[in-house]
Amino acid sequence: MVRRRSRIDHRILDGYLTAETNILTAEEVKALVGTMRITVEELIEQLLPWTAKKAVAPVSGFKVGAVGRGESGNLYFGANIEFAGQAFHTTIHAEQCCLANLMSKGDTGLRALSLTASPCGHCRQFLNETNSASVLKLYLPGEEELNLSDLLPIGFGPKNLNIDFSLLDPQDHQLTLASKPDDELVEIALEAANSSYAPYSKSYAGVAIRTRNGQTFRGIYAESAAYNPSLLPLQACIANLVMAGRSMREIAKAVLVCKKDSRVNHAVTAQALLKSLTDVPLNIFQAE
């Protein structure tokens, strides 16, 4: 169980946190724990309520926060995101949001994950896809330190389907477009598709979004051995946009790059979700 400190100078912590903050680098973490004289776990405990406030929960009203510690030592924030008027399966869980954030920054592992609420079965299965699943530490309110295997005792993952690599292992599918794109946003989406994780369907895909103020975000497709918990590229991209303090109403352009003749039709699901959020069309490019 994480020890609680009765006296923590939140003015120091607040100096690092803005609406746009979606990550604390390893260097910032080191500076904070040194200045505040607390452990990394105690720092994360203080960050969780702030992170949960980033959640978008118009359906349930239940906000969940997640803080993941990457292999790099960076801390990545995540929160649940719901879509009013859409089916429940479009919901982005806080754990998925945190992983989308980590993947977009190119981190190659997840050491530990702290949450404001116990993960549902959907998310336990999604986390079991990561390359650190067998040693992943989980910190839940009022609980001692847990391993993912404590919550998923008879797990089902990539190795059960004869896949010898896992989510967060570096990927490069070397997809190319028929002609050189004239927009950087297409290149960002192509890069996301090339780093996507789709060992079961081989339906590599990535999404890139530009907001009205010119910021760009990318979303990387991530499959699960159980299929349904898979994170779609538009979901991942929206997660990164929201965690950076931007509103879905600020979307100015959206691009999907997907592998030609894929088993999964990413365009259909992405178009339906995007249409419920904005009038901005989805620009679709097929790569080989």
By annotation, the residues acting in catalysis are 95
DSSP β-ladder status, 65-70 and 110-115 = antiparallel
Cα–Cα distance for residue pair 145/41, rounded to 1 Å: 11
DSSP string covering 158-182? GGGGT----BTS--------SS--S
Q: 14, 16, 11: which is closest to 29 by C-alpha?
A: 16
Sheet with 251-259, edge to edge strand ranges? 216-220, 205-211, 251-259, 282-287
The answer to whether 78 touches 67, Cβ cutoff 8 Å, is yes
- Quick one: tokens of 110? 């997840």
